[in-house]
Amino acid sequence: MQNGAVTQFPAGFMWGSATAAYQIEGAADEDGREPSIWDTFSHTPGKVLAGDTGDVADDHYHRWPADVAAMAELGLKGYRFSISWPRVMPGGQFNRNGADFYSRLVDALLERDILPVATLYHWDLPQHLEDAGGWPARDTALRFAEYAEQIGQVLGDRVHMWTTLNEPWCTAFLGYAAGVHAPGRTDPAAALTAAHHLNLGHGLAVKALRGVVSPAALHSVTLNLHHVRGDAEAARQVDAVANRVFLGPMLNAAYPDDLLADTAEVTDWAFARDGDEAAIAAPLDMLGLNYYAPVRVRPWGGTGTRATSDGHGFGPGTPWVACDNVEFMPLPGPYTEMGWPIDATGLTELLRRLHDDHPGMPIMITENGAAFDDKVEADGRVHDDARISYLREHIAAVGAAIAAGVDVRGYFAWSLLDNFEWSYGYSKRFGLIHVDYESQERTWKDSAHWYRDVIAANAL
């Protein structure tokens, strides 16, 4: 792999970029789309910085042809997008107009030799399902499988890889325990119940998709696994509720015993029925990994305020269910605009851990990127050297893992466009392409030009 200072990537390595529906599409009330929990949350005063919403976002719903042309100019081999569940299944009924938008998008990608990677769920639960109980309700997992089957019948002959869930940890623990993401609940037991039903929905969706899509399609899930350093016992506790709560049932058909023991005072897990773990462990072709920064932990003495460098804070509640005696410690900089430490070594270490724990499972880096204070300068360019440095270090970390024998099949930079960054609104810019939210003008950042050269060379 190493040739002097050059890291050459394997033939067929999938270079891509990623987005999410609510973050870029806009068109919040067009063509039959119903509100999602993020529409409700962002329109609730005090929930999102500056009162920003995703009502317009990047207006990708109308500007997608130009955005796809930019992807082609970048030389992307794959594009990871998410499908808006409330656009496709408003009120639980299939909406042809909503589905046709994604059909046109997929066709345009294929015409430009860009492989479509479709994520079914990137946090935008239809509001009517939250009203009926949300992810803590078992019925939501069943409805998710129905949605998967419906959209699979429409796109299943053309989508290269299906991803069921994006970062279910965020959905369950930021949404139902910490309260900093939609729907904004702060109930630890509900968060664990949501985690189980997300797992179940994943397994049922994989089964439903396999029944209707092309046999050549790949099936995956994307997890934002935490690389946890520090005290061994504190790290074990965090690893259980951050990582193994999903890896265990999805890849090993069982929840870890220590997770069940740690959380016994929160819930008796009666919501997990016989046969659920087998259903969750539907066979996968790929594991998607989102990585941004490691965390460091130690036991908490029980007095004062716990430090947190987990990137999410504690909000009205804590996402770290059953980790009451754990403290998250600050890590050295430099930092991104999110306040996240820049440490690419954690990516190599996490990839090697996955390779050791789950041998034979191919891995795709489905998100990796950084927010910086990007501005269009007087010369009309966006000079984001810090992002180029970040991407270079992290792509090199992927190369190091491959050289160590880890089966990594691709890398997707987050994100293609500046966009709505959830509770941060439009204040944080992750994109390779700068977006002026008033004019919707797109400007390539220096990092986009740099990334295009990396893709063309298939080398760093």
pLDDT tens track for 36-75: 999 999 999 999 999 999 999 999 999 999 999 999 999 9
Q: CA–CA separation, 395 vs 400, rounded Å? A: 9
Q: Once rounded to an integer, what is the mean pLDDT over residues 111-126?
A: 98
Which of 18, 74, 79, 71 has the alpha carbon at shortest distance from 449?
Answer: 74
In this prediction, residues 93-119 reach a mean pLDDT of: 98
CATH number attached to the domain at 2-457:
3.20.20.80
How many whole angstroms separate alpha carbon 171 and alpha carbon 219? 20
174: amino acid identity, one letter: L
Query: Beta strand 326-329 with 295-299: parallel, antiparallel or unpaired?
Result: antiparallel
| Amino acid of residue 397 | A
**Residue 303, C-beta contacts closer than 8 angstroms, at least 6 positions apart:** none
Q: Give the DSSP H or E segment for 170.
A: none
Task: Report which residue type is found at 361.
Answer: M
**Overall average pLDDT of the 292-320 stretch:** 75
In the chain, the amino acid numbered 48 is: V
Given a cut of 70, whether residue 5 has pLDDT beyond it is no
Interatomic CA distance for residues 135 and 125, integer angstroms: 9
The total of other beta-carbon atoms located within 10 Å of residue 63's CB is: 17
Question: Is a pLDDT exceeding 80 seen at residue 4?
Answer: no
Distance CA 420, CA 249 (A): 32
Residue 367 bears catalytic tag: yes
Q: Which of 167, 277, 327, 421 is catalytic?
A: 167
Question: Per the residue annotation, which of 25, 34, 130, 367 is the catalytic one?
Answer: 367
Beta strands in 126-186 (DSSP E): 161-166
Name the burial class of residue 305, with classes exposed (0-12), middle (13-18) and buried (19+) by CB atoms within 10 angstroms of its CB.
exposed
Q: Is the pLDDT of residue 227 over 80?
A: yes
Please state, in angstroms and rounded to a whole number, the distance separating the CA atoms of residues 167 and 288.
10
Q: Which amino acid does the sequence have at 438?
A: E
User: What's the confidence (pLDDT) of residue 346?
Assistant: 98
Q: Are the C-beta atoms of 24 and 83 separated by less than 8 Å?
A: no
Question: What pLDDT does 196 receive?
Answer: 99
Distances (CA, A) of 38 to 24, 80, 231, 333: 13, 20, 36, 32
Residue 393 CA to residue 6 CA, distance in Å, equals 13
Instruction: End-to-end CA distance of the chain: give it in Å, rounded.
Output: 11
What local confidence, expressed as pLDDT, does residue 303 receive?
Answer: 67
Q: How confident is the model at residue 309 (pLDDT cuts 50, 70, 90)?
A: very low
Over residues 70-85, mean pLDDT: 99
- Residue in the block written with tokens 């220096």: 446
What is the tens place of the pLDDT at every residue in 344-387? 999 999 999 999 999 999 999 999 999 999 999 999 999 999 99
Residue 311 has pLDDT above 80, yes or no: no
Whether the per-residue pLDDT at 302 is higher than 90: the answer is no
Tokens of 253: 């058909």
Total number of residues shown for the chain:
460
pLDDT level of residue 315 (50, 70, 90 thresholds): low
Please tell me the predicted confidence (pLDDT) of residue 301.
80
Please indicate whether residue 4 or residue 19 has the higher confidence score (pLDDT).
Answer: 19
What is the pLDDT at residue 1?
44
**Bridge partner residues of 364 (DSSP):** 288, 410
Specify the 3-state DSSP secondary structure of 293.
Answer: coil
User: Mean per-residue pLDDT for 234-253?
Assistant: 98
Query: How many CB atoms are closer than 10 A to CB 211?
Result: 12
User: How many Cβ atoms from other residues are within 10 Å of residue 239's Cβ?
Assistant: 21
CB neighbours (10 Å) of residue 93?
A: 10
Peptide bond into 168 cis (omega under 30): no
pLDDT at 456: 98
Strand 218-223, strand 286-290: pairing? parallel
Boundaries of every domain in the chain: 2-457
Q: What is the mean pLDDT of the chain?
A: 96
Q: What DSSP state is assigned to residue 335?
A: B
Whole-angstrom distance, CA of residue 365 vs CA of residue 397: 11
Residue 3: pLDDT band by 50, 70, 90 thresholds? very low
| CA R_g for the chain | 21
Structure tokens at 338: 């999110």
Is 377 one of the annotated active-site residues of the chain?
Answer: no
Q: What is the pLDDT of residue 95?
A: 98
